[in-house]
Amino acid sequence: MKLNNRFHNLFSDKAESVNVELLCLGLGYTAVTTSDGGIGLSYSYFDRKSGCSLVGNYYDYEGKPAAKLLEKINSADTIERSMALALINALNYEKTILLPEDRNNEIVFDKLKVGEDTKTAMVGFFGPLVKILEKRKARLEVIDEFRGIGSKEIFFKKLSNWADVLFLTSTSLLNNTTEEILEKVNSKTKTVLLGPSTPMVAEAFRDLPVHILAGTVPVEKDQVLKAVRHGLGTRYIHKFSKKSFLIC
């Protein structure tokens, strides 16, 4: 996929110069820390657990050059891509920690001019965002395959001729559907890629209809790592992180 190659190319030089310090593959999220002080998160993406191991070809990345793990962004295995995406976010940590914060999502909504009767589409159900949309009296169409919400056929049709704003989960990067979804948006649609997995790298999305990146930047690293180890989710991780945004 084009995006996977872009991520690899953008971070290949840095990945040669730093080591993976810690790799934590949690039930909900994956975390990676690097020898230069970086930390990054990604959703732990697996459809089912058929055995006692989630990793087929085990390799100990800790203490090794990050370049070895970065290669896995092109893997066919979603767990390996989860680890690689967390690494990418760790390699980008120095830049993301400086980004502005949008703790309550209000800044992003204002920039998108979401208000009464704004037609919004959402890939991946985000409860807190749904509440804001309801408060602002926006119209909403949701699809979330994990939750069994929505029809792909109906959703894509509305995406191509109806939606003013698209909220797209960054988990789509892990199942390689991001580009497929973006191909469906109409020219007026403003797209936000969001969630803790989001790589805050505008260069990666050049020529693609992505307008805002909204991600999670760990601040209290020990607490975030503990949350990952304990299988906790987004709400808990956000207690120890910044909710940041980047205009593409």
Query: What are the start and end residues of each CATH 3.40.50.11590 domain in the chain?
Result: 106-220+234-247
Would you say how long the chain is, in residues?
248
Buried residues in 20-31 as b, exposed as e (16+ CB within 10 A)? bbbbbbbebbbb
* Backbone conformation region of residue 205, classed left if phi is above 0, alpha if psi is from -120 to 50, else beta: alpha
Backbone angles phi, psi at 136, to 5 degrees: -85, 0
State whether residue 146 is helix, strand or coil: coil
Top CATH class of 2-93 equals alpha beta
| DSSP H stretches of helix in the chain | 2-17, 66-70, 78-91, 93-96, 106-111, 127-135, 152-161, 178-182, 221-229, 234-237
Element (H, E) at 20: strand 20-25
CB 214 within 8 A of CB 244: yes
Whole-prediction pTM: 0.94
243 forms beta bridges with 216
Which CATH number describes the domain made up of 106-220+234-247? 3.40.50.11590
pLDDT in tens, 43-77: 999 876 666 667 777 899 999 999 999 999 999 99
pLDDT in tens, 148-158: 898 888 999 99
Query: What are the start and end residues of each CATH 3.30.390.100 domain in the chain?
Result: 2-93
**Parallel, antiparallel or unpaired: strands 165-169 and 20-25:** unpaired
CB 73 within 8 A of CB 7: yes
Question: In the block, which residue shows the tokens 């996977």?
Answer: 4
Rounded to whole angstroms, the Cα distance separating 161 from 166 reads 12
Q: What is the pLDDT of residue 209?
A: 96
pLDDT in tens, 98-128: 999 999 888 999 999 999 999 999 999 998 8
Element (H, E) at 247: strand 241-247
